[in-house]
A and B are shown apart, each in its own frame.
Chain A
Amino acid sequence: MTCDSVTKLIPLYYYAELTPEEEDRVEQHLHECSGCTREMDRQRTLAAALNSRQSGLPPRLLEDCRADLMAAIQGGAPRRDPVKGPWTLFLEALGATFGGVVRVRQPLGALSLIAVGFFAARFIGVTPGREGISQAGMAPEDVFSTVRSVQPDAGGRVQIAFDETRRRVISGGLDNQNIRRLLLAAAHEQNAAVRVESVDLLKGQAAASEVRDALLNAVSHDSNDGVRLKALEGLKPFASDPAVSQTLAQVLLTDHNDAVRMQVVDLLVARRDDSTVGVLQNVVQREANNYVRLKCEKALKDMNASIGTF
């Protein structure tokens, strides 16, 4: 094989996209050619640099997307362009007038919903006897509403769909389904203290797949270090589950917190699983924390794997 043909195959070799025969030929050439070995090193460095660019999702983005989607579907997502109503025309006119603020349309929309919700709560919160919006006997301060859609019809009437939130206090054991459901929801709350507390309670229930999924989500995406550490504790007994170990590998590569990575590396190396070799090699190349790097190196040696990526 010539150097020219090997150079062309190096990216595919790195990504393990060659046939076994091609792979053998490239490896043989690399053993004999220092120039192509340097090319291979550059490929590895490029890949490691690109790994550092991968960013997590902004907090709450996933939840917001899910809420938007479900609201669109439940509000009757249009199958084709609908006839434009006065509300749409008004919004379009507003958009045309303030063309420069198109980029902030969503935040403005959210703010307007909050504002509408605020006033709606005051007008409708205590209306008794009306189906769907009645909260007889409820103090108005306990009811909060958010308008999800406004649909005028040709007859001058308007249909408004809104979510109504009422503050309640309930108590119960962790085995109670309602309590667990609320804890799962609380694990996504904006308030970090609520998330820490909820995940702390949920971590003992990780045998249930819905709880495990919530812990996986928290350990991958929660912006708070404490929440991620608590979630890790809950996942410990399930480190051999493929979905858990896959997520832990991702966390080891991307989490910025040393304590989190130290916990994760302990869990991953304890398994001595061949499927983690690639991740451990990757970590050895880029990890700044000595404990994590040495743990990975030792695990690779114990598994008779090379320290570098191939």
Chain B
Amino acid sequence: MTPQADLGVFAISLAAGLIGALAGVGGGILVIPALTIVFGVDIHLAIGASIVSVIATSSGAAAAYVRDRMTDMRVGMFLELATTTGAVCGALISAIVAPAFLYVLLGVVLLGSAAMHVSRMGEETPPPDPPSAMARRLRLESSYPDRKLGREVPYSARRIPLGFVLMWIAGVVSGLLGIGSGVLKVLAMDGAMRLPMKVSSATSNFMIGVTAAASAGIYLGRGDVDPQVAAPVALGVLAGALIGARLLHHISNRTVRLVFLPVLVAVGVETIGRGLGFGV
């Protein structure tokens, strides 16, 4: 690539890292179309670069989120049990399942979730109900410091079995289709388990790196990771994620929802497009 193209890829990746760190997603939704459509990069190399982008967003943002108590590590590790198992199942059945129908199904589910997400748009923090026996036993109750609200916000996970099943499905989907793993994780934690939006986003960020790392070796061995493309993507995304992780403290849960909504809709539309055969 020319130095001008490198600079362009760096700039777009910086935006992807920034949005990804705030919304709890990997930024592939921005990186893949930009690389293929604007810079004419081969789709396989673009997907390889997006795997790098997911891990860079996750590690860059989570380094700050873990330290600042925005990531709930117990929620993250408990649910990673579901996502990693799901990802292995997804990879195993990928040879026997026709993905076209699944893409459309996933897209419809995501757009349906977007409608539910809109209905929660005005909610700053979930209602403070007492923790369930299961949440106490699994220690899925904690609090996070909200600098915007200027107080400690307590929370506890609700509907834990539902959240676990949704996370398993998120793992299957990412192993099978390689898309939407971040948005599904945020939806499971925010929508089903009713964790505060910032905690959902920061914990999703913590988790997506592990999901991507599980399949990264496959892309590397296949020759889909090209340093010429991945270098400006990785550096841009890391810079964006570090800025995003600082920015999260200065915005409200409502604003995080506002950032997440267009990402959710874009992934939904793109997924349906792929299923119908005209995606990037």
Note whether A and B form a binding pair. Answer: no
Q: Measuring CB to CB, which residues of chain A are less than 8 angstroms from any residue of chain B? A: none
Q: Measuring CB to CB, which residues of chain B are less than 8 angstroms from any residue of chain A? A: none
